[in-house]
Structure 1
Amino acid sequence: MLLQTALAALGAAVVAAVPTLEVRGPYFVNPKTGNRFQVVGVAYQPGGSAGYNKELKKDPLSDPDVCLRDAALMQILGINTIRVYNLNPDLNHDECASIFNAAGMYMIIDVNSPLVGEALTSHNPWESYYAAYLNRTFAVVEAFKNYPNTLAFFSGNEVLNNNKTGATVPPYMRAVTRDIKNYIKNHSSRPIPVGYSAADVREILFDTYNYFQCSIEGEKDDMSRGDIFALNSYSWCGDSSFKEASYDELVSGFTGTAVPVFFSEYGCNVPYPRIFTEVGSIYSPDMWDVFSGGVVYEYTQEDNNYGLVKIDANGNAQLLGDYLALREQYSKLNFDEIQGQSAPKSDAKPPVCSEKLITTEGFNTNFTLPVLPPGAPEIIKDGVKPRPSGKLVEIKDWKVKYTVKNPDGTVITNLAVQPLADDEINRPGLNTEADISSATGTSSADSPKESEDAAPRAAAVLLPAFAMGAFAVMANL
């Protein structure tokens, strides 16, 4: 028994891991190199909101064979980060987390879900802010805090989406961030950033940013401030440009930020098929001094028609034209330059919270946050019970078990995750074994819908998060 324990400990010790990143002012920083890190991400929620099913005990990171299939395809694409929306803290995620870690990818984890009692609601947020809800968010933190490739937690997604929600939600959303950060401080061996994923509704976007990033006067260590700020933006549609897509307004609005800012979703699908020309701007001098990359929406094809890969009922997959189009845009980038920039020292400091920061009439200017609900202080102090835990484990077989096809229907051979060396982060060109087509364009598996092709651009702003089953958004519709 002692020998088995020793061998198990040795095996755990030699599992290669990506370097744990740090937030230093407005940058994600690799402490091993001192270089800035740019998020090259994809939204990962196979099955949409139905991919999270408590009764069937499944979520996007609970099936290692599925994770292996998808990690291999993402690794070839060049992805270094996945964003996962709906997770069950009661399930074991060790193998999936270890697979994405070995493939050189980080995880951004949303702590909420579309189910009642598992998200702060846009409508009457005080009714959803109670101890059982916080306990559930803390359980998600517990389940993922020990993985070195857990990059950050989102305390909310598009809970503010118009003037009406801007009037009531901000203090409660900031309180949830405070509570999660205090829980991490008490129970995690390392700091993990917590922040908010905003809807790109320009009328309230910068007020939302200012409210969540300012420092409350008199607070020595203001735990309610967001460590990061992200936005779901669909303003770049088709063959647009930096100015036409109003990316210049975003850069101007976030210049001087004291926290990392990045796209938590992007990839307008009107017109279709997508060509992803925004990639060239996101990872260019036009934006990289202010933005830290972005997350493409989304990996799997769902009813809303944003997918890179189509999955059938048996788990087999076929690449879509969007996968190849995105891969082509990544191939034009110089990742040595993008990921090789030294992180300069930043003197940027958050502004002091004041009603002067808010410009929209009716947006909340009260920075007195709600107190913890009864029972919550004890959970923050003692921890959730039962307490989930996670650790990296050894993966013995890296070969994909499902059949995966190119857009033209030919089977992709030699498809497997290529485990990277310790402290190595994925980028295009590290996994080149699989026989993936180099052709671009719409595939035979693509199935665009006429109604979506004709949809107005503005509709794309909230559609993806709604399709994910974001309860906070649904409650306000």
Structure 2
Amino acid sequence: MPSLTRSLLLLPTLFSTLSLAVRPVEVRGQEFVDTVTNKRLMILGVDYQPGGQGGYKPQEGRDPLSDASTCLRDAALLQRLGVNTIRVYNLDPTLNHDECASIFNAVGIYMIIDVNSPFGGESLNRAKPASSYHKGYLGRIFGIVENFKGYPNTLAFFAANEVINDVGSAKENPPYIRAVQRDMKNYIAKHADRAIPVGYSAADVRPILEDNWKYFECAIDGKDDKSRSDFFGLNSYSWCGGDATFQTADSGYDVLTETFGNSTIPVFFSEYGCNEVKPRVFNEVQALYGKQMTALSGGLVYEYSQETSDFGLVEIGDDGSVKLRTDYDNLIGQYNKIDLALLQSTDPSATNRNPPKCSSDLISDSGFSKDFKIPNPPEGVDDLINNGVPNPVRGKIVPVKETKVSQKVYDSKGNEVTNLAIRPLANDDSNVPGGENGTPTGAAGAQASKKGSASAARTVQAMDQMCFVKLLCSL
């Protein structure tokens, strides 16, 4: 048998046994940086919470990353879309997430993990933050850290989401958010083998937005202040419809760019994609990933699945089938126009500036907190940080043995998609847009256009790199 033929026959076995992984990412100044290549990682992402808040059912042992078959289906469609990151809300620290995390890892997709949930005692109470900042709550958060710290594709953790959503909630909550960030980072430093970034996801409330960012960006005790945010996420829906532009007042992208241009931490859209005009055309993608906005680190489109709020890229049926929406087609078209070389061309060292020192002078709105005295950890939390949470579920990458999607998938015109499968990446790389059109007919990445020739080149590179295994190359 010719050696090449034998090599190709071995590929399924190789993919099922090798723990291929994306490279861990760290924060350097204003940017996320690949720790191996030292190139910038620009977030091309989608918010992922199938079933909405209802998808989190700890009483049934279910959350968005608990079912491997579902994750395989969605990973194939997200890989084909071209995303490299998902944000996952509402997770159960007592469940095993190895299979789902490994599937997303295999296709080059990072995960930003929210540590909170909508259930009582599992998030800060914005009305009375002191009452919810206790050992039980922090133990739950540390359990999420234990669960996801071992996956190389865990990009970051959100310590909180929109706890400050108006001027009234900006008075008492900021110090408690910083306290949670400090506690999480102290736990990570004690129990993880790498520094995993921790930050905040803010509501786009313009009267206090700049104060919000400045409060979490500044350092109280020098550059290594643990309570300081490692990054700042912004849930922004200001760009609405195809008539908006970078300069128009309704988008406000020019103002956001000017505001965050000199940030000393990464800033990105943790949610975006206004749905006032339907279907969404996503022409803001060209602005967000264009020359004028390279100071920002990309964003996550809200959201993958169609829920009651009507933001979905796909519709998920009760039987597990998926129908792509026109929004999915439009987004893939916009992603395919992105100049990927531009996104990686910036020099991370150029934005590695010292943070401003925390001071009341940074805050302009009289209703926003100027209190930089961060609450001490509740009683018993220091023991949790030093000794770890009891009986944690610690995740690890496992072999991905299945690649073909078992559920029925339909394109936006109702035609069934056949032979849909994930395409494991063999070169420890993150996923990129591959020039797909809006109507899949087979495996993810199978329809690369001329513009997507980078994907084909990457496949060749993957084969070359697998020679280091000395299995294929010796045949």
TM range (shorter): 0.7 to 0.9
After superposition, give the CA deviation of every residue in 1:55-102 in whole Å (9 maximum; x if it has no partner).
Answer: 111000000000000000000000100000110011110000000000
- Check whether the contact 2:421–2:442 (CA below 8 A) recurs between aligned residues: no
For 2:24 and 2:435, locate their aligned partners in 1 and report how far apart those are by CA, in whole Å.
Answer: 20
Partner residue in 2 for 1:474:
none
| C-alpha spacing 1:315/1:220, structure 2 compared with 1 (3 Å) | closer
| C-alpha spacing 1:359/1:19, structure 2 compared with 1 (3 Å) | same
Deviation at 1:252, TM superposition (A): 0.8
Output aligned runs, 1:298-377, within 5 Å.
Answer: 298-377=303-382
Deviation at 1:334, TM superposition (A): 2.0
Partner residue in 2 for 1:98:
102
Identity %, equivalent residues = 51
After superposition, give the CA deviation of every residue in 1:370-420 in whole Å (9 maximum; x if it has no partner).
Answer: 111111110011001111100000111100010000111110012000000
For 2:252 and 2:177, locate their aligned partners in 1 and report how far apart those are by CA, in whole Å.
Answer: 27
Counterpart of 1:96, as a letter, is C
- Of 280, 285, 301, which residue of structure 1 is paired with 2:286? 280
Output aligned runs, 1:51-90, within 5 Å.
Answer: 51-90=55-94
Counterpart of 2:359, as a letter, is S
Deviation at 1:242, TM superposition (A): 0.6
- Check whether the contact 1:416–1:434 (CA below 8 A) recurs between aligned residues: no
- Check whether the contact 2:15–2:424 (CA below 8 A) recurs between aligned residues: no
- Check whether the contact 1:175–1:370 (CA below 8 A) recurs between aligned residues: yes
Output aligned runs, 1:245-284, within 5 Å.
Answer: 245-284=251-290
- Check whether the contact 1:75–1:431 (CA below 8 A) recurs between aligned residues: no
Counterpart of 2:264, as a letter, is A
- Of 401, 405, 408, which residue of structure 1 is paired with 2:410? 405
Tell me the TM-score normalized by structure 2.
Answer: 0.87
After superposition, give the CA deviation of every residue in 1:338-378 in whole Å (9 maximum; x if it has no partner).
Answer: 23544343352211110000000121101011111111110
After superposition, give the CA deviation of every residue in 1:92-139 in whole Å (9 maximum; x if it has no partner).
Answer: 100000000001100000000000000001101001000000000000
| SS class of match (2:315) | strand
Counterpart of 2:304, as a letter, is Y
| C-alpha spacing 1:340/1:414, structure 2 compared with 1 (3 Å) | farther
Q: Quick check: 1:187 aligned with 2:191? A: yes
| C-alpha spacing 1:32/1:430, structure 2 compared with 1 (3 Å) | farther
For 1:235 and 1:141, locate their aligned partners in 2 and report how far apart those are by CA, in whole Å.
Answer: 32
- Check whether the contact 1:44–1:300 (CA below 8 A) recurs between aligned residues: yes
Partner residue in 2 for 1:204:
208
For 2:351 and 2:432, locate their aligned partners in 1 and report how far apart those are by CA, in whole Å.
Answer: 27
- Check whether the contact 2:419–2:442 (CA below 8 A) recurs between aligned residues: no
Partner residue in 2 for 1:158:
162
For 1:170 and 1:95, locate their aligned partners in 2 and report how far apart those are by CA, in whole Å.
Answer: 36
Partner residue in 2 for 1:296:
301
Counterpart of 2:358, as a letter, is C
- Check whether the contact 1:138–1:384 (CA below 8 A) recurs between aligned residues: yes
- Of 236, 241, 244, which residue of structure 1 is paired with 2:245? 241
Tell me the TM-score normalized by structure 1.
Answer: 0.87
Q: Quick check: 1:389 aligned with 2:394? A: yes
For 1:26 and 1:341, locate their aligned partners in 2 and report how far apart those are by CA, in whole Å.
Answer: 11
| C-alpha spacing 1:339/1:29, structure 2 compared with 1 (3 Å) | same
For 1:416 and 1:183, locate their aligned partners in 2 and report how far apart those are by CA, in whole Å.
Answer: 38
| SS class of match (2:384) | helix
- Check whether the contact 1:406–1:436 (CA below 8 A) recurs between aligned residues: no
After superposition, give the CA deviation of every residue in 1:221-277 in whole Å (9 maximum; x if it has no partner).
Answer: 310001011100000000110121111111111121111110000000001110000
Q: Which runs of 5+ in 1 are unaligned?
A: 1-9, 438-477
Q: Quick check: 1:147 aligned with 2:159? A: no
What is the Cα-based RMSD across aligned positions, in Å?
Answer: 1.8
For 1:150 and 1:113, locate their aligned partners in 2 and report how far apart those are by CA, in whole Å.
Answer: 18
- Check whether the contact 1:12–1:393 (CA below 8 A) recurs between aligned residues: no
| SS class of match (1:345) | helix
Deviation at 1:428, TM superposition (A): 1.6
For 1:31 and 1:63, locate their aligned partners in 2 and report how far apart those are by CA, in whole Å.
Answer: 30
Deviation at 1:32, TM superposition (A): 2.2
Deviation at 1:220, TM superposition (A): 7.0
| SS class of match (2:72) | helix
- Check whether the contact 2:108–2:430 (CA below 8 A) recurs between aligned residues: yes
For 1:434 and 1:247, locate their aligned partners in 2 and report how far apart those are by CA, in whole Å.
Answer: 33
Counterpart of 2:174, as a letter, is P
For 2:351 and 2:52, locate their aligned partners in 1 and report how far apart those are by CA, in whole Å.
Answer: 39
Partner residue in 2 for 1:451:
none
- Check whether the contact 1:63–1:96 (CA below 8 A) recurs between aligned residues: yes
Partner residue in 1 for 2:42:
38
Indicate the larger mover: 38-47 or 362-371: 362-371
For 1:262 and 1:370, locate their aligned partners in 2 and report how far apart those are by CA, in whole Å.
Answer: 27
Deviation at 1:337, TM superposition (A): 3.1
Counterpart of 2:417, as a letter, is I
For 1:422 and 1:138, locate their aligned partners in 2 and report how far apart those are by CA, in whole Å.
Answer: 32
- Check whether the contact 2:30–2:348 (CA below 8 A) recurs between aligned residues: no
After superposition, give the CA deviation of every residue in 1:37-64 in whole Å (9 maximum; x if it has no partner).
Answer: 1000000000000000011110000000
Q: Which runs of 5+ in 2 are unaligned?
A: 1-13, 444-475
- Check whether the contact 1:82–1:105 (CA below 8 A) recurs between aligned residues: yes
For 2:187 and 2:431, locate their aligned partners in 1 and report how far apart those are by CA, in whole Å.
Answer: 30
Deviation at 1:164, TM superposition (A): 0.7
Q: How many residues get paired?
A: 426
